[in-house]
Amino acid sequence: MPRKFDESRKLQKRAEQMMPGGVSSPARAFRAVGCDPPFIVRGHGSHVWDADGNDYIDYIGSWGPLILGHAPPVVIEALGVALRNGTSFGASTPAEADLAEVVLSAFPHMQKVRFVSSGTEATMSAIRLARAYTKRKYIVKFEGCYHGHADALLVKAGSGVATLGIPGSAGVPEEFTQFTLALPFNDTNAIEQSFNKFSNQIACVIVEPVVGNMGCVPPARGYLEALRTITKHDKAVLIFDEVMTGFRLAFGGAQELYKIQPDLTTLGKIIGGGLPVGAYGGPSEIMDLVAPLGPMYQAGTLSGNPLAMAAGYAQLRYLRDHDEIYAKLDKLSEELVTGVAAAAEEAELSLTHNRVGSMFTWFFTPEPVTSWDSAAKSDTKAFARFFRAMLENGIYLPPSQFEAAFLSAAHSGKDIQQTITAAKQAFVLAHA
């Protein structure tokens, strides 16, 4: 029996009357996959349910935060306790220092951290701080990387910008991006050339050390080391945007996995346990420029919100005390990603699969995907057919070729086998 989506369609129509595209964030509108989005009403463990009662195995996980799955008891209990005391005070609370302590323990280069309310705020503030510290104007970012929607960063960006084919964004005057240099990811020559041309003028290089926003793209061997060497040599700040990778690829994020220390790190997603949070941090020498200690201004009414702090602290403490989770995530993700790739091969479809830990993407292209140019060669129409067939089979994937999927500690071997079986059927349809 085909699934019914009547309730979700009704809800979508209602939302469209009042909200652009019916959504609060463009990627959720499912525009790139040619179907209406299911309206999610409940999540538990590895599953979500929509308004029509359809059940899905979820590989979005709220786009990364839910590393323990939906509604993990440890987070729900901590939230219950915090909630009874109130929702927001706009004042300091003990919970901020609790979360700060565990974040600092995971990132050895960080001596201080500032909490904000989203990843966008974290990256925007880290760049302002890098400029304040170096007294330079230029910034380097990479094509297909996405660091939120601040004006200067919406240049050749990934995520929804890439999905919807919007090259930059309307409403951003070119003067606002004149100091943004967008270079190809994984290309050491390009970065060397830029530093030669703009020597002593580049404030920072910001990078997703493992990219999640053009689909999952790992760094080439030696690439992060090269970024570290070049930035150090030119006294530019190296910013690792670990909003996705922090506490996901390892407790200490991509920088622990690849053993590279950046100057500043931005965080979000997992550190909020599913509530809105971001953070940026680094050595005191840089962080002490942030107001009220220094002249770099950044503020927020809901920054350090006690509910977000409590949820994040509960989730991070659980991860710290259950380090074995990372090996389990790695093993199950490998089983899933290679199982689906083998099903594609059986169906004589050439896919490329990229995976680092529990972040992964099946690209509908036979060629290796190492940069935006190679990701963009994917057959997005075939991806959309695959996506719709998977959804019909009860598998909820990111609705874009250019977004990473995530596995959680709540996923089971049974979920993985069910997903591989669904993929076998979907590949037959994706062929059509």
Using CB under 6 A as the binding rule, whether residue 241 contacts ligand HOZ is answered as no
Using CB under 6 A as the binding rule, whether residue 28 contacts ligand HOZ is answered as yes
**Joined tokens for residue 307:** 């509910």
Using CB under 6 A as the binding rule, whether residue 66 contacts ligand HOZ is answered as no
Least distance from ligand HOZ to the Cβ atom of residue 396, Å: 13
- Contact 231/166 with Cβ under 8 angstroms? no
Task: Output 130 or 214, the one with its CB closest to ligand HOZ.
Answer: 214
For tokens 């996959």, what's the residue? 33
Taking Cα atoms as reference points, which of 215, 256, 207, 255 lies closest to residue 360? Answer: 215
Using CB under 6 A as the binding rule, whether residue 258 contacts ligand HOZ is answered as no
To the nearest 10 degrees (0 to 180), the angle between helices 413-431 and 325-346 is: 30
Size of the site for ligand HOZ (CB under 6 A): 8
Q: Which DSSP category does 153 fall into?
A: G
Q: Which DSSP category does 71 fall into?
A: S
Task: Output 23 or 429, the one with its CB closest to ligand HOZ.
Answer: 23
Helix (H), strand (E) at residue 318? helix 306-321
Using CB under 6 A as the binding rule, whether residue 27 contacts ligand HOZ is answered as yes
Range in contact with ligand HOZ (rule: CB under 6 A) among 25-33, 297-305, 334-342, 351-359 = 25-33
Q: Looking at 14, 16, 19, 25, which residue binds ligand HOZ (CB under 6 A)?
A: 25
Taking Cα atoms as reference points, which of 268, 258, 259, 180 lies closest to residue 219? Answer: 258
Residue 114: phi, psi to the nearest 5?
Answer: -120, 130
Task: Output 27 or 287, the one with its CB closest to ligand HOZ.
Answer: 27
**Joined tokens for residue 291:** 């107001």
Using CB under 6 A as the binding rule, whether residue 310 contacts ligand HOZ is answered as no
Least distance from ligand HOZ to the Cβ atom of residue 407, Å: 16
Count Cβ atoms within 10 A of the Cβ of residue 245 and give its class: 0-12 exposed, 13-18 middle, 19 or more buried: buried
Using CB under 6 A as the binding rule, whether residue 63 contacts ligand HOZ is answered as yes
Task: Output 16 or 323, the one with its CB closest to ligand HOZ.
Answer: 16
Q: Looking at 12, 163, 177, 213, which residue binds ligand HOZ (CB under 6 A)?
A: 213
Q: How many angstroms separate the Cα of 28 from the Cα of each of 24, 113, 144, 327, 331?
A: 8, 30, 19, 30, 29
Using CB under 6 A as the binding rule, whether residue 208 contacts ligand HOZ is answered as no
Helix (H), strand (E) at residue 333? helix 325-346
If one counts every other C-beta atom within 10 angstroms of the C-beta of residue 296, the result is 18
Using CB under 6 A as the binding rule, whether residue 58 contacts ligand HOZ is answered as no
> Would you please indicate which residues are annotated as catalytic (active-site) residues?
146, 241, 269
Residue nearest ligand HOZ (C-beta atom): 25
Using CB under 6 A as the binding rule, whether residue 118 contacts ligand HOZ is answered as no
Task: Output 21 or 300, the one with its CB closest to ligand HOZ.
Answer: 21
Using CB under 6 A as the binding rule, whether residue 159 contacts ligand HOZ is answered as yes
Number of residues that this document lists for the chain: 432
Footprint of ligand HOZ (CB under 6 A): 25, 27-28, 63, 146, 159, 213, 403
